[in-house]
Structure 1
Amino acid sequence: MTLDETDKKILRILQQNAKLSHKQIGDAVNRSATPVYERIRKMEEAGVVKGYVALVDHKKVGRSLVVFTAVHLDRHEHDVIKDFEKEIVHAEEVMECYHMTGTDDYLLKVAVRDMDEYQQFIVEKLSRLRNIGTVRSSFVMTEIKHETAFNV
């Protein structure tokens, strides 16, 4: 799907406040509600807009410790990689998981209540997965920037 300037304006608006009505968005881009609705529907169908979420303050829901956990697998066969990925998506502590190049195979963003809960995650969940080689943890001290919107 090719995005024109109106589509990009709509995306910028949606990323800032997805609760706006089609009329409100239309007013901002000088279109009526129906064409805005159609453009949004087309972007949803094309997968440009993947979904809508509420951004939640992790500290206010009891997940004040954020850890970036680098995982290196001891074997790199297809089945090993797919098994790890299949299992890690079920860990509720893992907020994000990326397959990486370089020294580490995966980078996990883990959000937990405290250090005890992180240790429990490492011991009871991560270490029980097959073929885990090394695990390195980096603890977030202060979040400086956290953006969810893309500049389109």
Structure 2
Amino acid sequence: MDQLDIRLLELLQMDGRMTLSELSKKLSLSRPSITERLKRLQDREIIEGFSARVSLKEIGRDVIVYIQVSELKVLSYSEFEKWIIDDPDIIECHRLTGSVSYLLKAAVTGMDHLSRLIDRLTPYGNVNTSIVLSSPVSFRCITPNDVKEEKK
């Protein structure tokens, strides 16, 4: 991956709807070159897909909560994960090492909605919630350069 690929990744992370023509102008490359680079990045699974970032506040899900689930009371982790995958309030799920088994991120409409979610989770294990007050960094472009700088 060269510097043009890295710049292409940055541009697409900031605006996934940027046209080939716009990318071509910004990177001073031909449209066929941009198309070839995009295909190569997708084939190598560096670009996993394209999506829109949605304002949770504007769709009425302005209460963001992190939920720690520990001491699972289910037969298997896969049983819990199957349930989590089907729950529309959970927007992220991470299986962890240490005393907490899972860290979930949920988006709910208010405290009643949160209470119902916690009630659904309680049978699976101990639940500890943290409500997000603000998000100074809610999105950041990630490139291979970030990893290189970290190692210095």
- TM-score after normalising by structure 1: 0.87
Q: How much has 1:4 moved relative to structure 2?
A: 1.5
Moved over 6 A (4+): none
Within the alignment, does 1:139 sit opposite 2:131 as a pair?
Answer: yes
Structure 2: stretches of 5+ with no match in the other structure: 145-152
Aligned pairs (5 A) from 1:26-45: 26-45=24-43
Which residue does the alignment assign to 2:122? 127
Q: How much has 1:62 moved relative to structure 2?
A: 0.5
Query: Secondary structure of the equivalent of 2:133?
Result: coil
When structure 1 is superposed on structure 2, of 21-30 and 113-122 the one drifting more is 21-30
**What's the % identity of the aligned pairs?**
26
When structure 1 is superposed on structure 2, of 141-150 and 14-23 the one drifting more is 141-150
Aligned pairs (5 A) from 1:99-138: 99-123=95-119, 125-128=120-123, 132-138=124-130
Aligned pairs (5 A) from 1:54-65: 54-65=52-63
Within the alignment, does 1:94 sit opposite 2:90 as a pair?
Answer: yes
Q: Which amino acid aligns with 2:125?
A: G
Residues in 2 aligned to 1:109 and 1:27: alpha-carbon distance in whole angstroms = 38
Structure 1: stretches of 5+ with no match in the other structure: none
Residues in 1 aligned to 2:21 and 2:109: alpha-carbon distance in whole angstroms = 41
Q: How much has 1:73 moved relative to structure 2?
A: 3.3
Q: How much has 1:127 moved relative to structure 2?
A: 2.9
